[in-house]
Amino acid sequence: MQLFVFFLHCLLMEATYSYHQDQGGRGGISLSPPFDIFNASNRLPQPRNELKLVVVGMGSQNYFCLNSSTTPIFQDAEAELFSMNPAIRTEMTTLHIFPHLMLERPGISKLFKHVGKHRFVDGKPTFYFFPPQHGFFQGVPRERVGAPAYAGAGRSPDNHGAIPWLRIESFGMGTYRQGYRLMTVGGMPPPTCEGRSNVFAIPYTAEYWFYG
């Protein structure tokens, strides 16, 4: 395990100085989104703009219960956002491993550059990036598809499945035109509220791809 952490640390060391160069400003990133290559009918619409930013969000999907016999109701989500710049500079396979690793071993996130926060504002998914020149993104989900069969179900005992993939369209006021939530791990609630408090959180991770 120590050798693995050392290798990961070496891979991520350049994040501090290369993030602004490769993902900041107006520069584009040459990558294709990881749509479900095994199921053509389960794909989101292709992005219309240039890829600007790729991050991994690690946080929780939050739900509330009316009583123990009801189905959990989605309330909001919150996550910390981490730069995927070093992984982008290697192989796509490497990039897509990180959501799984971060959910199973949250301490790994300390090796990444923390670049923003995801919250809900007035019921809308909102993303704040820092430094401030990286802007913000707020929008509304336009399309969603179920997570692929290979998606991680989550960390036990909350391994109820992976939340859907989304295309989120901006209201036109933010830095980016559209965003995608992809490669989700965990986040789905149990089928009923039995044994749950009125409000509870389910851990999740996901890749977020932003276009502008």
Residue 1 pLDDT: 47
Rounded CA separation 12/30 (Å): 20
Does 133 map to a domain?
yes
Q: If we measure between CA atoms, which residue out of 50, 129, 118, 115 comes closest to residue 83?
A: 115
- Contacts of residue 106, defined as CB under 8 A and 6 or more positions apart, other chains included, come to 58
The count of structural domains within the chain is: 1
Is residue 172 in some structural domain?
yes
Question: Does 3 map to a domain?
Answer: no
In a domain, 108, yes or no: yes
Task: Profile the chain (212 residues) by mean pLDDT over runs of 10 residues.
Answer: 43 37 46 60 82 94 96 98 75 75 90 94 94 86 92 94 96 89 96 96 97 90
SS3 20: helix
Q: What is the pLDDT of residue 179?
A: 95
Tokens for 13, please give them. 């060391």
Q: How far apart are CA 152 and CA 202, in angstroms?
A: 13
Residue 109 makes CB contacts below 8 A (sequence gap 6+) with: 58, 80, 82, 102
Residues listed for the chain: 212
**Confidence at residue 125, expressed as pLDDT on a 0 to 100 scale:** 96
Structural domain that includes position 181:
8-211
Asked, for residue 1, whether it belongs to a domain, the answer is no
pLDDT at residue 132 in the model: 72
Examine residue 127 and state whether it is found in any structural domain, yes or no. Answer: yes
Kindly tell me the sign of the dihedral angle through the C-alpha atoms of 176, 178, 182, 188: positive
Question: Tokens in use for 66?
Answer: 């009316």
Residue 203 lies in a domain: yes
Q: Is residue 2 part of a domain?
A: no
Q: How far is CA 19 from CA 15, 16, 119, 146, 208, in A?
A: 6, 6, 22, 31, 16
